[in-house]
Amino acid sequence: MRPATGRLRLLRRDWALLAALTLAVLPAQAQDIRVLASVSESTIGTEETLSYTVEIQGVRSLETPSPPETEGLVLASTFPSRQTSMSIVNGAVTQSVSFTWTYRPVGEGQARIAALPLRISGNTYTTDGITITVVPQSQRPARRAPSRTNPFSPFQRSVPSPPAEEVQPDARDLFIDVVPSARSAVQNQQVTVAYVLYFREGIQLRQSRLTDSWDAEGFWREELEVESRPIPQVVVRDGIRYNRITLKRAAVFPTRSGELSVDPLKIESEAILPTRSSDPLARFFSLQSRFTPVELSSAPLTLTASPLPPGAPESFQGAVGALNFSARFDRSELEVGESLQLTIRISGNGNLATMAAPTFEAPGAFEQYDPQVSTSIDRSGAQLRGSKTFTYVLVPRSNGVFQMPPISYTWYDPNAGRYVTDATEPFSVTVTGSGTPAATVLALSGGLPVDDIAGPIPATPTWVPTDRQPLHQRRWPYLALMVPALLLGGALLAGRRARHLADNPAVARLRRAGPLARKHLKTADRRLQENDIPGYYEALERALLGFVGNRLNVAEQGLTRDGLDQALDRHDVSRDLRTELIAFLDACDLARFSPVVPTQAAMTEARDRAADLLVTLDDRLKR
C-alpha cells in the first residue's frame, strides 16, 4: 500500500503544480468581459419547462445575481445552478461563469424575460430581453421519456438493446443565414455576400460538402478567403445560444441593372444531436448515437442594381469603387533609342479584374508598346481590395524636348455618389543624342616606324619556271572583284527601302501585318502548351487587332469596338464579317477573365476561328 500512497501523493502534487501554473498565467492575460443571455427554447408547450442561462465571460468568480423579472413565467427553482469553465483557444485563455434558472409557463401566449443588470468590477452590464412563445402542448413534439436503462451497458457484454429513437434537427437547431453587405447597389459596385452556419450547442457535424454549383447570374463574382478550419463563435440569436461559422464569402459586382438573384447555398452534412433528457447520464451516452444526414440551404437572395447616373465624363470606362490613381515616368532625360517607362497604378476597392487601362497617347516621336498588366488581389478582408498596374515602354526616335500629355482616369465612387476624375500634370522629357550615330574616323600619323621596314635581301633570288595559268587569265579574280560591287548595290537598295519605309509608315505597317499576325499565333500556341489560358486568348486577340491596325494604319492601342467597326466599314468590310470579328474579340476578353477554365476543344476551336478570320480579312482588305 505504501507505493500506491506515494504515487497518489505524487499525482496530487503534480496536479497542484499544474493548477498553480495555470492560475499564475491567467492574470497575465487581459480578458474582455462579455455577458450573454439565452434560453433553451424560444417556443415551449404549456407543460414544459424553460432554462434561462446568463454567462459572464472574462471573470473567474461572481456573486449569485438575482433572477430577472418575467411576464407569463414563474420560477421552478429559487436557486440557480452555477457552472465555471475555462477554455484555451490559440493560446488565449477564456474563463466564464454561468447561472441557469428554470421557469414554468403560466399559460398560453407570449411570455417575456426582462433584461438583467449585472454589476461587475464597478461597471454595469445589461443583458437583452427575450420573448418566448407558449403554445398548447399538443402542438409540441412528443417528449422522450427519461432513459431507464443501465448507463454502464455500453461497457458490458450483453444483448444489445433496440437503438434509441433518433433526434432529427429542425430549422431552429441548424440553419444557414445569408448576410449581404447591401441590398441595393449601382452597376459594377461591389457587394459582399457571406453565408453563415448557425448550430445549437451540443450539435456535432462532419463530412459537410456542397451539393449544387453556386451561381450568381448577372454578376461578376470573386471568391473571398475564409478560414479552412474555423473556430465556432458563440452568439445569441433570438434568445437562443448558437455556434456560428462562416462557410463562404464572395464579392459580387452587378453587370446590369434590375432585380438580380443570387442562388442559395446548399450543403449536405451529417449531424448528431444530444438527447434532451433531464438525465445527465442519458445525455452523455447519447453521443454514441449515429450521425443523421441533413440537407441545408440558405434563403435565395435578391439584390437591386441601379444604372449608373448620367453625366459621366468622356474618360469614364466603367470603373466603380473607392479607388486611387497614380502615374509616373521613371526619368525625364534619356538618349535616342533608350527606353522610357510609364507606370500607371489603380488601387482600392473594386473589380480590378475588368478595369481597362487609361487612355494614353505618346508624342509621335515615341514608339509606344502595349502595356504590361499586373494585378495584385487581397481576398482576406471583408471586401475585395488590391491594385492593377499598367507599364508602358516608350522609345524615342528623334531628339528634342517633348511634353507628355496629362493622364486622367475617371471612376464612380458609390460612397460619395459622384464621378471622380484624377489627372497628372504635363511632364517634360528631354531626348538627347542623334538618330544616326556618327561614323568613327581613324587618323594615322604621317611617318612609319622604323621597325616596319623590311631588311635587305641577303642573296640573289633563284627564279623557277612554272606551268600555272597567269592570274589575269583566270575567272575567279574577276568574280571576286564583282562581289564588293554587288554588296554595295545591295546596301544602297536596302538603305533606300529603309528610308522609303521610314517616310511611309503606312507602307511599313502594311508589309509587317502578316508576319506579326503569324508571330502572335505562334505565341498563342506556345501559351496553350504552357497552360497559360489568359495569355493564350490575349495572343489571339493581339493577332487580330494588330493585323487590322497594321493593314488600315490605325493605332490598335485604346481602339474601342465602335472605332474598330467604323474603321472596317470605311474599307467596305461587310457587316457580317465585322460582327463576327467583334464577337470573337469579346469572347476572348470573357475567356481571359472568367473563373471557369474553357475546355481544350473550345480553345482549339478559338485558334482555328482566329486563323480563318485572318485569312478572310486579308482577302477582303486586299480587294
320 pLDDT higher than 90: yes
Minimum mean pLDDT range among 114-118, 178-182, 335-339, 618-622: 618-622
**Per-residue pLDDT tens digits for 592-608:** 777 777 888 888 888 88
- The C-alpha atoms of residue 503 and residue 492 are separated, in whole angstroms, by 16
Band of pLDDT at residue 101, cut at 50, 70 and 90: confident
Band of pLDDT at residue 346, cut at 50, 70 and 90: very high
20 pLDDT higher than 80: no
In 21-160, where do the E strands start and end?
34-39, 43-45, 50-57, 70-71, 73-75, 81-89, 92-105, 109-113, 117-120, 123-126, 130-135
Averaged pLDDT for residues 259-276 = 81
Band of pLDDT at residue 395, cut at 50, 70 and 90: very high
- The C-alpha atoms of residue 5 and residue 268 are separated, in whole angstroms, by 54
Averaged pLDDT for residues 257-272 = 87
Q: The dihedral of CA 592, 595, 596, 599: what is its sign?
A: positive
Band of pLDDT at residue 333, cut at 50, 70 and 90: very high
| DSSP 8-class letter at 47 | T
Average pLDDT of every residue of the chain: 78
353: alpha, beta or left, given left = phi > 0 and alpha = psi -120 to 50?
A: alpha
pLDDT at residue 556, rounded to an integer: 66
- The C-alpha atoms of residue 222 and residue 595 are separated, in whole angstroms, by 8
Please state, as a whole number, how many other Cβ atoms lie within 10 Å of the Cβ of residue 516: 16
pLDDT at residue 402, rounded to an integer: 92
The fraction of the chain above a pLDDT of 70, given in percent, is 79
Bridge-based pairing state of the strands 92-105 and 81-89: antiparallel
pLDDT at residue 204, rounded to an integer: 81
CA 342 from chain center: how many Å?
26
Band of pLDDT at residue 30, cut at 50, 70 and 90: very low
Instruction: Give first-to-last CA distance, the chain, whole Å.
Output: 112
Averaged pLDDT for residues 393-404 = 91
pLDDT at residue 503, rounded to an integer: 64
79 pLDDT higher than 90: no
pLDDT at residue 517, rounded to an integer: 83
**Per-residue pLDDT tens digits for 163-195:** 444 456 677 788 999 999 999 999 999 999 999
387 pLDDT higher than 80: yes
In 255-384, where do the E strands start and end?
258-262, 266-272, 292-297, 301-306, 316-329, 333-335, 340-350, 366-368, 372-378
CB 194 within 8 A of CB 246: yes
- The C-alpha atoms of residue 446 and residue 4 are separated, in whole angstroms, by 117
CB 312 within 8 A of CB 336: no
The fraction of the chain above a pLDDT of 90, given in percent, is 16
pLDDT at residue 15, rounded to an integer: 44
CB 30 within 8 A of CB 94: no
| DSSP 8-class letter at 155 | G
Instruction: List 324's β-bridge partners, or say none.
Output: 347
Averaged pLDDT for residues 309-323 = 89
pLDDT at residue 203, rounded to an integer: 83
- The C-alpha atoms of residue 189 and residue 316 are separated, in whole angstroms, by 15
568: three-class secondary structure by DSSP: helix
Give the residue with greater pLDDT, 489 vs 88: 489
pLDDT at residue 419, rounded to an integer: 93
**Per-residue pLDDT tens digits for 528-576:** 888 888 888 888 888 888 888 877 777 766 678 788 888 888 888 888 8
Structural domains in the chain, sorted by start: 27-137 (2.60.40), 167-306 (2.60.40), 316-432 (2.60.40), 503-622 (1.20.120)
pTM of the model: 0.53
pLDDT at residue 392, rounded to an integer: 93
pLDDT at residue 10, rounded to an integer: 38
589 pLDDT higher than 70: yes
Averaged pLDDT for residues 288-314 = 85
- The C-alpha atoms of residue 394 and residue 429 are separated, in whole angstroms, by 11
